[in-house]
A and B are shown apart, each in its own frame.
Chain A
Amino acid sequence: MRLPWLVIALLSGDASAPVARQSGVEDWRAQEYATLQEVEPVVRARGLALVYARAGFPTAAWDAAQRGLRSAPDDLALQFHAATSALQLSEASLARQHVDALRAELVRAELTEDLRSEWEASLSELLRNAEDLEKDARSRDRAVSLARWIAIAVLCGAMFALYRLSRGAMAGQGARSGTPGRRAT
């Protein structure tokens, strides 16, 4: 069987190279992706995540990366895809989780000096984006929390006022209508 160019790019390229540098797959062609089904699962997961990310399907890229990470949690490219797709999906905590995992794996990985500095550049950009997203998420959580407290406080105040006023009204009615034992307040 002829190995299509996409698989060649994924297999022959240094799997530890930063994803941004795996330029052989930029001009992907969809019909050739199907043969990825026949290759080793982690390579396939890496390839699928890359294809889906480039095609603009972040949910599918996330799913592919997660499938690959189950058998290869130390895979740098899969951690990268998981983090970028979580960022695209505005999932701050999931993005942060994978950025942290990528950073930890990067410390353990044996890489040349050049590759390490490229990965670190990618990591710092991911980190910046994840922090921005987290900042937005925190401001949203604060706003929701403030709104919830205001609403609950006003509702409690209103219910208390209702209780007091209705008691007063009932007592007033009792006094006017001459009900024994009641006094107007």
Chain B
Amino acid sequence: MAVELAAVRLLAPSFGTSLVVWTNVLASILLALALGYLLGGRLAAGERSVRRLGWVLLGAAATTAVAPTLARWLIRGLAPPAFALHEATEVILWGSLATALVVFGPPAVLLGSASPLAVDTLAARGGLGAGRAGALVLCAGTIGSLAGVFATTHVLLPALGLAWTFRIAGLVLAAAGFAAFALSRIGGNERALAVSAALIAALVSAESEPAAVGPGGTRLLAAGESQYQSVRIVEQGTGAKRLRFLQVNESFDSFQSVWQPELGLLPEGFYYNDFALPLFWDEARSDWRVLVLGLGGGTALRVLAGVLPEGDQLDVVGIEIDPLVVALARTYLDLDPSKFGARTRAHLVEGLDARAGLRSLETPLDLILLDCYANQVELPPHLVTLEFFAELEERLADGGWVVANLGGFGFEDPIVASVAHTCSVAFGRAVLVLAVPHARNFVLVARRGELPLDVEGVPRSVAGALSARASKARLSAGFRIVVPTDAGLLLTDDCSPSERLQARSLREARARLIGTAQGDPR
């Protein structure tokens, strides 16, 4: 189980941790275990089983310890270094399956074959019946798995990282293998061979870690493993034009947070700028109580603090589920409440899910920013439902706003369309969807009150820093108004198939382009 958990994390930087990757890893390991059980049964040979058990465990130790090195080598050939998200489906599906089979198949076969050998050893040496021997082995194996699961998630991965998690799993297995050898009293030659095999595995697993280069030639500043994901900070550019990105798992061509040296608007193409539109649309309000769900590295907070209109005040609560993200952001992305200026008060809450965090707040809010993603590209199913949007609406003050970031390939994209429809039904009124220029993002704007629409149904312009952005929103390709009576898929707590929608989104994006080229007016 420890290897299974760490296996998914090992694949994450290249293939992510979506359900497809989990399925491929679990399927590969289950298949290998089935094979291993039969192999173990074939190898079982009464008195000699304990010696064979030693060899099998030593083999499992070696293949486990070298898994990170082997995976890195294999992934170089199977996952091109840079490709856009919509090109990823096939790479993720086949790349993760091939890597899981080749890298985790051998240790799982060997671990599977250990069980019948252990049963046979207990039966032959301890004089136990097959039932009792099997029960003991199953019980010991399950308790070992239990310990491995907890140790991997709570201690090994966060504290020691991936490579050492595999090495330690290898060490434990090697120790068990040598214990079996001790029981079987193997000869000098065999002992020398076993020690040599262990040393070679240790050397291969100790191959140097990858260089400090991030995807696409960016500079890698920091990286770590949290309970939720692989996290890293990369930097590009120099001086005042430096940009730092917080990326998780596979990254592809996307990121979770972005930082520039100055507070305020980011270069065009970053959806965070749109989070500030309500500050300009809603001139009657000057004291803004803001909740950021999915704070990440604090980008939204830095944008808001930097463009805050004269005389306005911000009181922000930012919630981020992953403490490692906050820790890295404090060091590398200036996520420090004292640095946002005198008119901004910020309170950071880490380790809390957005929905649970929302329920813990009682004060009516003027602006809720929703920027939560799981597995990098998937909207968490429980954060796009009718019930959740209804909860958001309840927490809003009169005239309060919700602004949400949605990834998608067009207004007809299944994710964008269904989330906007669901939000519109929950609010019982029209919502606005804005296409972000030069990006694959859409920003959903809902309000407990009238939206800033003029008679033509387009958003009114705003003055100041965001006026150029707002005028682009007036293009017919720049916005869409969704009303509750529009047809659409309603996402609920009971049925929120966001993973399926995500897969459809990736699949249909290209079909829509080709359809237009062939005269389909979609």
Contacts and interface: CB of A to CB of B under 8 A. Distances in A.
B514 interface: yes
B80 A139 contact: yes
A138 to B, nearest CB: 10
Interface stretch (A9-17, A25-33, A105-113, A116-124): A25-33
Interface residues of A, number: 42
Contact of A140 (B41, B91, B474, B514): B91
A150 interface: yes
B80 A55 contact: no
A150 B478 contact: no
Interface string B32-47: 1011001101100000
A85 to B, nearest CB: 9
A94 interface: yes
Contacts of B86: 90
Nearest to A138: B80
Contacts of A139: 80
Interface string A46-80: 00000110011101101100100010000000000
Given A56-B269, A155-B101, A29 B471 contact: yes
Interface of B is mostly: helix
A166 B35 CA distance: 9
B77 interface: yes
Contact of A70 (B77, B78, B475, B519): B519
A144 B94 contact: yes
Given A59-B409, A136-B80, A158-B105, A151 B477 contact: no
B11 to A, nearest CB: 12
B516 A57 contact: no
A30 B473 CA distance: 9
Contacts of B472: 30, 55-56
A169 B87 contact: no
Nearest to A139: B80
Contact of B78 (A31, A136, A147, A154): A147
Interface in B468-491: 471-472, 474-478
Interface string B319-355: 0000000000000000000000000000000000000
B141 to A, nearest CB: 20
Interface in B46-89: 77-80, 82-84, 86-87
Contact of B91 (A89, A147, A150, A154): A147
Contacts of B294: none
A154 B512 CA distance: 36
A31 to B, nearest CB: 7
Closest 10 A-B residue pairs measured CB to CB?
A56-B437, A60-B477, A165-B38, A56-B438, A147-B94, A150-B98, A147-B98, A151-B98, A154-B101, A151-B97
Interface of B: 31-32, 34-35, 38-39, 41-42, 77-80, 82-84, 86-87, 90-91, 94-95, 97-99, 101-102, 105, 268-269, 409-410, 435, 437-439, 471-472, 474-478, 510, 512-514, 516-517, 519
12 contacts: A30-B478, A51-B475, A55-B472, A55-B475, A59-B409, A59-B513, A60-B475, A66-B519, A140-B80, A144-B90, A147-B94, A165-B39
